[in-house]
């Protein structure tokens, strides 16, 4: 369970302060697929990035499984981040590393033993359907395959939460469907909580259990997808 209590995030921009997130309170339940929608600049990405403390709240508290994470530092922060994977619109793979090494990277960084890394990466390659691409480089993959590598990398450690920042925006319709199916499978099979930012209504209707609508840093609405969008 992820809880935001009166969370604000402020940036110091060239033209003064930007209140990217304003006094936002929200609860994301364990095991759900939770969507965040809203126009560009609404604060979606900033809010998502507070969950692994890539952004720090200027006010308010954030709790994960009832633990206040807001001020975590050092080793505690490192351990928190191991449980939270993230995927991106443009995949953010490392160009000069193979698929295997991209997926292994978070485990190498965490100091896992070589045997364990080997076993886990092969499991993940199987899960995302890329066992035959282990030695390929990112430039040899399609967009959908790159995102599958991104997903495998995000699951490499003891992932409990998967953060997705516009994960299908760079993909065509058919590829989007297959990535959404993979995310659903991961949610159901592994019980991983998924938080997904999107501007695509199809994505929300297709996989989200609940959705939050943001505008100008504020939370406008939160509820079941059906209540918010289908039958408001
Ligand atoms: P969204 O994901 O909904 O498009 P963002 O969270 O990216 O929104 O941005 C929210 C607001 O914060 C915008 O006004 C944006 O310009 C501003 N912002 C985002 N990141 C930074 C930053 N690193 N420095 C200054 N302002 C930022
Ligand atoms: P495309 O838009 O062509 O599908 P990407 O947006 O993923 O590809 O990025 C273009 C290239 O840059 C890819 O080969 C990718 O592996 C590489 N790349 C993307 N992010 C990073 C990064 N953070 N570090 C190194 N290389 C990256």
The model's pLDDT over 108-144, given as tens digits with 9 standing for 90+, comes to 999 999 999 999 999 999 999 999 999 999 999 999 9
Kindly state the average pLDDT of the residues 78-93. Answer: 96
The torsion angles phi and psi of 212, rounded to 5 degrees, stand at: -115, 135
pLDDT of residue 15: 84
Residues in the chain: 232
Residue whose tokens read 């504020």: 218
Q: How far is the CA of 229 from the centre of ligand 2 (A)?
A: 34
Mean predicted lDDT score pLDDT of the chain: 96
> Does the pLDDT of residue 64 top 80, yes or no?
yes
For the record, the structure tokens of 43 come out as 């604060």
Share of the chain above pLDDT 70, in %: 100
Q: How far is the CA of 147 from the centre of ligand 1 (A)?
A: 24
Residue whose tokens read 């297709």: 206
pLDDT of residue 232: 63
pLDDT digits (tens, 9 = 90+) for 47-58: 999 999 999 999
Closest residue CA from atom 17 of ligand 2: 95
Atom of ligand 2 nearest to the CA of 92: 20
pLDDT digits (tens, 9 = 90+) for 165-186: 999 999 999 999 999 999 999 9
* Alpha carbons 213 and 39: distance in angstroms, whole number: 9
Is residue 42 in contact with ligand 1, taking CB distance under 6 Å?
yes
pTM attached to this predicted model? 0.88
CB atoms within 10 A of CB 66: 7
Q: Is the separation of the CB atoms in 67 and 74 below 8 Å?
A: no
Is residue 124 in contact with ligand 2, taking CB distance under 6 Å?
no
Kindly state the average pLDDT of the residues 145-150. Answer: 98
Probe ligand 2: pick from 86, 87, 92, 99, max atoms within 8 Å of CB? 92
> Does the pLDDT of residue 14 top 90, yes or no?
no
The DSSP line for the chain is -EEEEEEEEEEEETTEEEEEEEEEEEEE-TT-EEEEE-STTSSHHHHHHHTTTSS--SEEEEEETTEE-TT--HHHHHHHHHTEEEEETT----TTS-HHHHHHHHHHHTT--HHHHHHHHHHHHHHTT-GGGTT--GGGS-HHHHHHHHHHHHTSSS--EEEEESTTTTS-HHHHHHHHHHHHHHHHHH--EEEEE-S-HHHHHHH-SEEEEEETTEEEEEEEHIIIII--
- What residues does 35 pair with on adjacent strands? 196, 211
> Does the pLDDT of residue 94 top 90, yes or no?
yes
pLDDT of residue 229: 83
Closest residue CA from atom 5 of ligand 2: 90
């Amino acid at each position: 369970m992820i809880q935001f209590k009166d969370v604000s995030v402020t940036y110091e921009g060239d033209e003064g302060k930007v209140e990217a997130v304003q006094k936002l309170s929200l609860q994301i339940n364990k095991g759900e697929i939770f969507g965040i929608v809203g126009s560009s600049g609404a604060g979606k990405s900033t809010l998502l990035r507070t969950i692994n403390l890539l952004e720090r709240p200027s006010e308010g508290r954030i709790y994960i499984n009832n633990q206040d994470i807001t001020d975590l530092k050092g080793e505690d922060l490192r351990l928190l981040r191991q449980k939270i994977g993230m995927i991106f619109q443009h995949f953010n793979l490392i160009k000069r590393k193979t698929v295997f090494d991209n997926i292994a990277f978070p485990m190498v960084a965490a100091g896992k033993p070589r045997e364990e890394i080997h076993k886990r990466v092969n499991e993940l390659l199987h899960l995302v359907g890329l066992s035959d691409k282990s030695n390929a480089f990112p430039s040899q993959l399609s967009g959908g395959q790159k995102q599958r590598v991104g997903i495998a990398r995000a699951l490499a450690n003891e992932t409990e939460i998967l953060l997705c920042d516009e994960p299908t925006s760079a993909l065509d319709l058919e590829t989007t469907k297959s990535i959404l199916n993979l995310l659903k499978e991961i949610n159901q099979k592994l019980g991983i909580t998924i938080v997904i930012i999107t501007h695509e209504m199809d994505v929300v209707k297709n996989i989200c259990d609940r959705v939050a609508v943001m505008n100008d840093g504020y939370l406008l609405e939160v509820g079941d997808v059906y209540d918010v969008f289908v039958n408001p």
